[in-house]
Amino acid sequence: MDSSLDQQSGIKKPYVHSQRFRIFNLTICLVAVMIVFGLFQFKVLDRVEFETLDFRYKLQGERQGCSDIVHIDIDEESIAQIGRWPWSRDWHASLITTLYGYQNKITAFDIFFSEPSPLIDFFLIESSRAANNVIYAIAFEYKKESASDSPYATDVLKRFTIDEAQIHGNKNLIPHFASPIAPLPDLYNTAIGAGHVNTIEDPDGTIRRAPTIIACKGDYYLHFALEITLKYLEIDPRDIIIVLGKHIDLGNGTKIPIDKHGMMLINWAGPWGKGFKHYSFWEVVSSYQKVTKGEEPLIPLSVFKDKICIIGLTATGLIDIKPVPLQSSYPIAGMHSNVIDTIVSKKFITEVKPPLNLILILALSLLIALVVPRFRPLNGLLFTILLVSLYFGLAFGVFKFLGLWISLIYPLTGVLISFIGIVVHSEIANAMDRMRLFHLAIEDGLTKLFVVRHFKEVLEQEMAKSLRYKRPLSLIISDIDHFKRINDTYGHLAGDFILKELANIMKSSCRESDMPARYGGEEFVMLLPETTREGAVEFAERLRKLVEGLTIEYNNVKFNITVSFGVAELKNEVAPADFIKRADEALYVAKETGRNKVCFG
């Protein structure tokens, strides 16, 4: 049995309640999912997805970063007091000596020292050697080969590489750089560590991740902040294991989640100046000078005891500023403190794997396909808004409390496409069902001709039009001769078959402007606009002869039937009943005077 038919009544169900309707909605859902899969595969909406990630960072608010991290900023005040940048390196030597004297744990320079200054470098080199806690930055050319390579400098850089055997996975996916910028060899030989400070932005130019490892000419280098973290945690870089696409195992129970390129998502503590202690370079060195003179220092230098001190450029015009999730201008020196804090506090942000995001897309789209069609459009919209709101809350909740970055835009795009598709489909389906119900109301179920009630409504309109514009209008009423005898002898099914055949003949014989209808029982009526009585009689006569010469076969029984016709042309009647009465009286005359004829009134 047709699945669209009611099992008990046999009446055709509305399309919106049929199985085909539900299957089509699921098809819409699957098409939406395939579209979003394609968008996901080609990263079409990644820029918008990044915006939602940034919004999540902002929503979680500021937090206090690791208290052992201190920034010493080369800011506007320091430039004003010390002079134009770059400074003589004895200023850096003085800073190292000051911090070491107050027992800081690590001094990390986010400043690259390359060109030698023989008369001054001695002090910096010796202070760095004496402190034995300094980590320097190294940098690499992105594209062109450096012409400043020297064997000595290259040998120095080799000290800061890690063994290829420590890296597992496809190493070709690690960011590769063309050439190292040669550092100052004698200075870097005094360092306890060095790491690269190259940045890699997302496609929208924003820094959200740190390249924990890069490659250059077959060697591999750790990030500056990761190198600092390892020294702070007293972990030998040679003991770590890097599994691309999974994590960096530090060997102390900490595993840093990284993607297949070795990129680590940074959990930003707050905007620049928030989350970590900041001191001016000038404040530190001048405080030391005051202490040596027996004067009150600008800041208590004891605050640097056991601290990681990150020295970087922050003065306007000198700094390498990049946009980050929390603000559009952020000194790169601040990136390092956030990386260190993320690792030390284990507040990692992990991007979920693509399969899970795709499952979320499918699940939300299916939910829309299954639920929305049950509601009216407005309620369906409200449900969709509620679902989107709940999913947004879920995305933020797992980000804040579990450190998981689940896709927001791609699943919601699937929801939007599914919702629009299903609402459009539902509206079309409802329109189809309304049209079907309309036809059921005006159409005879057996003959598919118009029912008499609808016929009379149209007749009234056509009569008014005919009288107003003085145009002819004719009416024909017909009746099958001796039809009761057929029903009594061969049954109602045979009678119904003959009625349907005769209705088909009438429909095919009428003009497009004519209107045939079932008047009741075996009677039919036809309205013929723009037709005089003579034209109507001629049409009825032609139809009578056609039926008379026709043989209808049903269940191996052949029937030859005849039909009587009554014709009337509109005169001055205003009421449809009066007009019909004249045609009916003409039919009565035809029946009484021998049947199978056309009479007119």
Can you give the pLDDT at residue 2?
40
Q: Which residue has the tokens 């497009």?
A: 512
Q: Which tokens go with 568?
A: 């009337």
396: exposed, middle or buried (Cβ count in 10 Å: 0-12, 13-18, 19+): middle
Can you give the pLDDT at residue 75?
94
Which helix (H) or strand (E) element contains residue 425?
Answer: helix 409-442
* Residue 397: partners with Cβ closer than 8 Å, 6 or more residues away: none
Q: What one-character DSSP code corresponds to residue 174?
A: S
Q: Which tokens go with 542?
A: 């032609």
Beta strand 134-138 with 106-109: parallel, antiparallel or unpaired? parallel
Q: What are phi and psi of 255, to 5 degrees?
A: -125, 115
Selecting among 49, 283, 522, 569, the annotated active-site residue is: 522
What is the C-alpha separation between 588 and 403, in angstroms, rounded?
90
Three-class secondary structure of residue 501 per DSSP: helix
Can you give the pLDDT at residue 11?
47
C-beta contacts of 507-511 below 8 A and 24+ residues apart: 507/448, 507/449, 509/539, 509/542, 509/543, 509/546
Mean pLDDT per 10-residue run, the chain (601 residues)?
A: 42 73 92 95 95 95 95 95 93 97 97 84 95 96 64 82 97 94 92 96 96 95 98 97 98 96 97 95 96 94 97 84 92 96 97 93 93 90 95 96 96 95 89 74 85 89 92 96 92 94 93 92 95 95 94 93 96 90 95 95 84
Is 77 marked active-site? no
- Dihedral over Cα of 236, 238, 239, 243: its sign: positive
Q: How many helices (H) and strands (E) does the chain have?
A: 18, 29
- In DSSP notation, 205-261 reads S---EEESEEEETTEEEEBHHHHHHHHHTT--GGG-EEETTTEEE-SSS-EEE--TT
The reply to whether omega before 211 is within 30° of 0 (cis) is: no
Do you know the residue count of the chain? 601
Can you give the pLDDT at residue 304?
97
242: exposed, middle or buried (Cβ count in 10 Å: 0-12, 13-18, 19+): buried
Three-class secondary structure of residue 519 per DSSP: strand
CA dihedral 112, 270, 246, 69 (to 10 degrees): 50
Q: What angle do CA 364, 368, 374 make, to 5 degrees?
A: 155
List of domains in the chain: 16-52+354-441 (no CATH), 61-350 (no CATH), 445-600 (3.30.70.270)
Can you give the pLDDT at residue 1?
34
Three-class secondary structure of residue 391 per DSSP: helix
Can you give the pLDDT at residue 528?
96
CA dihedral 61, 64, 69, 75 (to 10 degrees): 60
What is the C-alpha separation between 113 and 122, in angstroms, rounded?
13
Can you give the pLDDT at residue 601?
84
